[in-house]
Structure 1
Amino acid sequence: MEPGTRPDPATTSGPSRATPLRDVRGFWRILLAVIAPLPMLAQAVYYLLNPVDGGSSFADTVTAYTAHQQLIGVLRLVGAVFVVGLPAATFAVAWAARRGAPRLTSFGAFISLLGSFSGIALIIGGDPLAYYTVREGLDVGVMTKLSDDVVENDPVQQVAGLLFIVGIVIGLLLLGLALWRSRVAPAWMGIALAVGGSTHPFLPGHVAQGAGLLVAAAGFAGASYALLRMRNDDFDLPAMSPAPRPASSHVRT
């Protein structure tokens, strides 16, 4: 360019230095580490304090809920932590173990997340119906028919329930094994996740089931252990500034 001339605006590029983007990888890493054990821990508390065993008749559940209305109101909030947080906790385990056991983690995460989302979106369940029956003073006979004859025989409910059980039993078993094989956490944590998740539905009584979920929560804490020890660069790629827009061309006539 000759002295005294100005550069053509059409050929000049944008700023030489783009404003650096804020690095939020640490926020997501720590958030997942905090969330990981909470859903199973909350569900363990729900089972341990529930006044009725799972699988009890609708009438027996209504009777128990009538005698413990305040407790059931609190347990519904505790159970919400499990329902809302389980997909994120599953993702935390998958993210922690994915590099050390990619295939096993992928299979386990897919099955677990499919079951979790199916349960969240589709399963109604008899416990909420029993709670509303007690709270609103609804007819027990009519609500029993709704729970036993309508909801339980609904094909969508049956398929969703099956997917949820498969997600808990098989999905968490595979994720526990993946956490163990990845060696990002102590081996006993991966084993706890595999055993606690897969055996929970088959344990007798709500106390034993709650204890099984405490074991599973300890396994989920293995993801917390791995994520908290992980560097941000190992957690994810850094933020990347968007490419500058190409300068518009000017055509002279």
Structure 2
Amino acid sequence: MSEAKLAAGQQKTVRTPRDVRRFWRVLLAVVAPVPMLFMGIYYLVSPVDGDAPFATSVAAITADSGRFEAMQWLQVPFFLLIPAMFAAAWVSRRTAPRLATIGGLLSVGGMSAGFFLLDGVVTLEYLTARQGFDAGTMERLSDAFEEQATIQVGGLLFISAVTIGLLLLGIALWRSKVAPAWMGIALAFGGFTHPFMPGHLAAGLGLVVAAIGFAGASYALLRSSDDNFDLPPLER
């Protein structure tokens, strides 16, 4: 075999994968404020508080079932809260690494557990009103669900993610200086105060404030270069 053929056989084809960092950066920027914004609107259009008695909720749904059906769809984008939390942690990770890491673990972990263990957007109150089920029986069923240990753990982790997790992510966003300080404060305030807001209107406004805070992550992502966002793809 000639030296030229030997050299040609030893050559390797080097290919660089397509760089999709900009796609992920922009996608996270678009997603970040969406879940809290839609959930804030949900609370604002709801005629009852989130902790209203079972019978009160059934009566409200019976009186205006169309509104509550639309409210179910407003809750659908809430599953995007996990990537939104990841976005807030990601943009803060380099200048506030410990806060971003702890806040990210608490928020993403707690929210994942909550989504898995808690009930979905179709509530027992809604089914009672729409299907004509016996309200007393369904209320006992609701109470039985709430007494289950897995549901209680899921609720605790969910609340911890919204309060403590978002509080830490907001502080991390503020201290990282990748977005205006007031946006990090909005995220911390909107998440931490949510369980303590009196009534559905105040709760809705608080979540809209949190959505504005998440927009701080969008701001940071859109201003970032691809190189600051992540490492480039490797040759193969």
For Structure 1 versus Structure 2, the TM-score category normalised by the shorter chain is: over 0.9
Aligned to 2:5: 7
| Helix, strand or coil at the partner of 1:117 | helix
Aligned to 2:188: 194
* TM-score for the superposition, normalised by structure 2: 0.95
Q: Which structure 2 residues correspond to residues 66-215 of structure 1 after superposition, within 5 A?
A: 66-82=62-78, 84-124=79-119, 128-148=123-143, 150-215=144-209
The Cα of 1:13 is off from its aligned counterpart by: 2.0
1:175 is matched by which residue type in structure 2?
A: L
The Cα of 1:127 is off from its aligned counterpart by: 6.4
Distance in structure 2 (CA, Å) of the matches to 1:46 and 1:115: 22
The Cα of 1:63 is off from its aligned counterpart by: 0.6
The Cα of 1:7 is off from its aligned counterpart by: 3.4
* TM-score for the superposition, normalised by structure 1: 0.89
The Cα of 1:240 is off from its aligned counterpart by: 1.1
Aligned to 1:53: 49
The Cα of 1:126 is off from its aligned counterpart by: 9.4
Distance in structure 2 (CA, Å) of the matches to 1:126 and 1:216: 21
Moved over 4 A (4+): none
2:229 is the alignment partner of 1:229? no
The structure with more helix, counted as a fraction of residues:
2
Aligned to 1:249: none
1:25 is matched by which residue type in structure 2?
A: R
Distance in structure 2 (CA, Å) of the matches to 1:86 and 1:126: 15
The Cα of 1:35 is off from its aligned counterpart by: 0.3
| Helix, strand or coil at the partner of 2:234 | coil
| Helix, strand or coil at the partner of 2:9 | coil
Distance in structure 1 (CA, Å) of the matches to 2:3 and 2:207: 76
Contact map agreement 2:35 2:80 (CA 8 A) in 1? yes
2:5 is matched by which residue type in structure 1?
A: P
Q: After alignment, is 221-230 or 135-144 more displaced?
A: 135-144
2:210 is the alignment partner of 1:216? yes
Distance in structure 1 (CA, Å) of the matches to 2:50 and 2:173: 29
The Cα of 1:19 is off from its aligned counterpart by: 3.2
Distance in structure 1 (CA, Å) of the matches to 2:107 and 2:3: 66
| Helix, strand or coil at the partner of 1:7 | helix
| CA RMSD in angstroms, aligned pairs only | 1.8
Deviations 1:35-58 (A, max 9, x none): 000000000000000111111111
Q: Which runs of 5+ in 1 are unaligned?
A: 243-253
1:75 is matched by which residue type in structure 2?
A: M
Distance in structure 1 (CA, Å) of the matches to 2:122 and 2:182: 34
The Cα of 1:133 is off from its aligned counterpart by: 1.6
| Helix, strand or coil at the partner of 2:5 | coil
Q: Which runs of 5+ in 2 are unaligned?
A: none
Number of residue pairs aligned between Structure 1 and Structure 2: 236
The Cα of 1:87 is off from its aligned counterpart by: 0.2
Distance in structure 2 (CA, Å) of the matches to 1:75 and 1:86: 17
Q: Which structure 2 residues correspond to residues 31-50 of structure 1 after superposition, within 5 A?
A: 31-50=27-46
The Cα of 1:184 is off from its aligned counterpart by: 0.1
Q: Which has the larger radius of gyration?
A: 1
2:60 is the alignment partner of 1:64? yes
Aligned-pair identity in percent equals: 52
